[in-house]
């Protein structure tokens, strides 16, 4: 499966460029060029530069078939090599995060990377198939096939969907630049970036041709135009969308260490102590809503009276409605109790307000095993350690502003946030615990601390709403409808931070239409691969 030395260089360069485009590096230029070396390498195989060149007019049919199989295999192996490096480096934090839950941590990580790498091999194989046999220009084939790969990764069945850090998310450090996400979503930004990569790859290929100057100038002009129009729209929208304040929200970061949270009773004791210490003194603290992180308390909140009394005593001291994470329960038709990763709301008096949201998107292996019957569909039956939520409730704050809750990894699913916006949510709350991504010493902190909240920037732009994030160990932060992050706390610091929450009254095109870019790219890729076209070159 490992490609030959000469076939590893350019895929390796692409993988490294793609990794540094994402947090914590978040460099701007790599987003526009990361796929160029890989695309040029693939098309070089078409031209015979990377192959044996056995495609002359005197070649026998069987030799041509053998050469074709060899080149196709080389392209596939090069894609797998790229995928192993790209996803292996991007997701290196996975065994650290899973190690506390299962001894399968390392095998699970290697399996995930291997599956994603095979997907990357399918991408390069499809790219060559479309450009070499289908006569599709590289500038079109590259964005279509790459976006189709991202769509497939985000819609894998059996609870294995994993839309973590699509290419479009690499630009979340520059929110005005990706303002067009309100029209096409994160996957539409991926398509745009991959198109720009494709145009640069065409320019590189043109620079090696005889009439290099004229052709290079043509591709450079096309790149400038394709870059400028969506970027100009984003900057224009950032200055024209009217924002409105909906109230003041305080996020609480109790900073309970991961090793402490492995013991539910000890974790609850530490959380009560931390929340009590963090109670603001004086009369200046008067938010409309206080937000505690995911599973603030372990145990069935609604049925374990002693635990609920402890929660109520702490909540009522904050003198504001409190949203917090805990363990909910659902009764099956057989009378069994199924635990749920839930979020609750209290009134100012600390009593439960009749609101409960149950998490829909479970973390594989941690919250439930994939490929069980209940994992195959939204609102399905219970699976393993947690059941899956089925309803889409909204909470109310202050004078009627409605909020939706995204628990932990639900922030990476654009369709989840879109559904809540269609239900009428004015802003989102993200309750999470990222303590599994590392510990307090700087050398133990993994890039996942920065990668995870980056998705919220894209969710805010897609829906043009504000988001408040309460994380157990950080980062806790706020995002406005323009995608600008503010009020970010430090990691591993027990802190309360209050900010004004903003939203807009815009119901975006993406909210109305969904992921048109993603499924269109998938259908185009499949159609171009299988449907005979009159201009196709013979295989």
Per-residue pLDDT 10s for the chain (539 aa) are 676 666 789 999 999 999 999 999 999 999 999 999 999 999 988 666 554 444 555 555 555 566 777 888 899 999 999 999 999 999 999 998 877 777 778 888 999 999 999 999 999 999 999 998 888 999 999 999 999 999 999 998 877 889 999 999 999 999 999 999 999 999 999 999 999 999 999 999 888 776 677 788 888 899 999 999 999 999 999 999 999 999 999 999 999 998 898 888 899 999 999 999 999 887 678 899 999 999 999 999 988 999 999 999 999 999 899 999 999 998 877 878 889 999 999 999 889 988 999 999 988 877 776 655 444 334 333 334 788 898 999 999 988 899 999 999 999 999 999 999 999 999 999 999 999 999 988 888 999 999 999 999 999 999 999 999 999 998 999 999 999 999 999 999 999 999 999 999 999 999 999 999 999 999 999 999 887 666 555 54
Domains of the chain: total: 2
Q: Is 282 exposed, middle or buried (0-12, 13-18, 19+ CB in 10 A)?
A: exposed
Position 33 scores a pLDDT of: 97
pLDDT value of position 534: 63
Domain extent, residue 103, equals 5-240+516-530
User: What pTM, to 2 d.p., does this model score?
Assistant: 0.92
In this prediction, residue 215 carries a pLDDT of 81
Please state, in angstroms and rounded to a whole number, the distance separating the CA atoms of residues 287 and 5: 60
CA dist., res. 71 & res. 64, Å (int): 10
Answer for the pair 19, 90: CB distance below 8 angstroms, yes or no. Answer: yes
User: Looking at the structure, do residues 317 and 372 belong to the same domain, yes or no?
Assistant: yes
Would you call 134 exposed, middle or buried from its count of C-beta atoms within 10 A (0-12, 13-18, 19+)? Answer: buried
**Same domain, yes or no, for 259 and 235?**
no
Give the whole-angstrom CA distance, residue 442 versus residue 534. Answer: 59
- Is 491 a domain residue? yes
* Domain annotation covers residue 273: yes
- The CATH number for 422's domain is 3.60.110.10
> What pLDDT does residue 176 have?
96
Q: Are residues 187 and 215 in the same domain?
A: yes
Residue 507, beta-bridge partner list: none
Q: Are residues 448 and 497 in the same domain?
A: yes
**Shared domain check, 186 and 85:** yes
Same domain flag for 19 and 162: yes
Q: Are 437 and 448 in contact (CB under 8 A)?
A: yes
Residues contacting residue 455 through CB under 8 Å, at least 6 positions apart? 164, 165, 169, 172, 411, 412
| CA 328/CA 324 separation, integer angstroms | 12
Specify the pLDDT at position 369.
63
Q: Which of 146, 101, 103 minimizes the C-alpha distance to 127? A: 146
Quote the pLDDT of residue 51: 44
**Any domain includes 294:** yes
If asked whether residues 266 and 226 sit together in one domain, one would say no
Is residue 537, in this structure, part of any structural domain at all? Answer: no
Whether residues 185 and 66 fall in one domain: yes
CA-nearest of 520, 501, 402, 516 to 460 is 501
Asked, for residue 351, whether it belongs to a domain, the answer is yes
Task: Annotate 114-182 with three-state secondary structure.
Answer: HHHHHHHHHHHHHHHHHHHHCCCCHHHHHHHHHHHHHHHHHCCCCCCCCCCCCHHHHHCCCHHHHCCHH
Rg (CA), the chain: 25
Backbone angles phi, psi at 383, to 5 degrees: -135, 130
| Beta strands 427-432; 401-407: pairing state | parallel
In this structure, are residues 451 and 269 in contact, taking their beta carbons and an 8 Å threshold?
A: no
Contact 401, 247 (CB under 8 A): yes
Q: What is the pLDDT of residue 52?
A: 42
Let me know whether 145 and 271 are in one domain: no
Q: Are 209 and 78 contained in the same domain?
A: yes
Beta pairing, strands 289-291 & 322-331? parallel
pLDDT of res. 468:
98
Query: Residue 21 falls within a domain, yes or no?
Result: yes
Compute the Cα dihedral for 481, 482, 483, 484 and give only its sign: negative
Q: Do 319 and 418 lie in a common domain? A: yes
Contact by Cβ (8 Å): 536, 282:
no
- 214, 217, 222, 228: CA torsion to nearest 10: -160
Tokens 């009560």 identify what position? 272
What is the model's pLDDT at position 416?
A: 96
Say if 539 falls within a structural domain: no
Are residues 227 and 275 part of one domain?
A: no
Tell me whether residue 25 is in a domain: yes
């Amino acid at each position: 499966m490992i490609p030959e030395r000469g076939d590893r260089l350019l895929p390796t360069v692409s993988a490294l460029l793609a990794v540094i485009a994402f947090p914590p590096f978040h460099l701007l230029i790599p987003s526009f060029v990361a796929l160029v070396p890989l695309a040029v390498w693939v098309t070089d195989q078409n031209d015979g530069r990377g192959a044996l060149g056995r495609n002359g007019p005197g070649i026998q049919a069987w030799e041509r078939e053998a050469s074709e199989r060899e080149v196709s295999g080389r392209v596939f192996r090069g894609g797998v090599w790229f995928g192993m490096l790209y996803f292996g480096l991007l997701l290196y934090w996975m065994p650290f995060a899973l190690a506390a839950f299962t001894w399968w941590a390392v095998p699970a990580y290697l399996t995930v990377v291997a599956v994603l790498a095979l997907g990357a091999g399918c991408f390069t194989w499809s790219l060559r198939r479309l450009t070499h046999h289908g006569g599709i220009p590289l500038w079109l084939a590259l964005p279509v096939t790459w976006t189709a790969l991202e769509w497939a990764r985000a819609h894998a069945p059996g609870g294995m969907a994993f839309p973590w850090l699509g290419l479009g998310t690499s630009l979340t450090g520059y929110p005005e630049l990706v303002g067009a996400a309100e029209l096409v979503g994160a996957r539409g930004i991926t398509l745009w970036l991959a198109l720009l990569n494709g145009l640069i790859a065409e320019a590189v290929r043109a620079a090696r041709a005889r009439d290099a100057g004229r052709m290079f100038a043509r591709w450079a002009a096309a790149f400038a135009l394709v870059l400028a129009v969506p970027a100009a729209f984003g900057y224009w929208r950032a200055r024209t969308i009217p924002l409105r304040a909906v109230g003041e929200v305080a996020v609480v970061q109790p900073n309970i260490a991961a090793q402490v949270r492995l013991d539910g009773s000890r974790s609850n004791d530490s959380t009560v102590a931390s929340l009590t210490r963090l109670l603001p003194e004086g009369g200046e603290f008067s938010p409309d809503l206080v937000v505690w992180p995911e599973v603030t308390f372990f145990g069935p909140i609604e049925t374990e009276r002693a635990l609920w009394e402890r929660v109520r005593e702490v909540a009522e001291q904050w003198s504001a409605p409190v949203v917090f994470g805990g363990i909910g329960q659902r009764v099956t038709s057989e009378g069994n109790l199924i635990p749920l990763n839930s979020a609750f709301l209290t009134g100012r008096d600390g009593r439960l307000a009749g609101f409960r949201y149950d998490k829909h998107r479970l973390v594989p292996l941690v919250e439930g095993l994939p490929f069980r019957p209940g994992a195959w569909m939204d609102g399905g039956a219970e699976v393993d350690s947690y059941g899956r939520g089925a309803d889409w409730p909204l909470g109310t704050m202050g004078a009627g502003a409605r909020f939706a809750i995204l628990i932990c990894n639900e922030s990476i699913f654009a369709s989840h946030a879109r559904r809540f916006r269609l239900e009428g949510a004015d802003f989102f709350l993200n309750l999470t615990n990222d303590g599994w991504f590392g510990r307090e010493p700087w050398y133990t902190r993994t890039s996942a601390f920065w990668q995870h909240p980056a998705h919220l920037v894209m969710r805010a732009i897609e829906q043009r709403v504000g988001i408040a994030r309460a994380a157990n160990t950080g980062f806790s932060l706020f995002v406005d409808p323009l995608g600008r992050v503010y009020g970010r706390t430090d990691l591993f610091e027990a802190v309360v931070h209050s900010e004004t929450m903003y939203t807009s009254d815009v119901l975006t095109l993406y909210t109305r239409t969904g992921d048109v870019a993603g499924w269109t790219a998938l259908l185009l890729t499949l159609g171009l691969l299988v449907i005979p076209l009159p201009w196709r070159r013979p295989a």
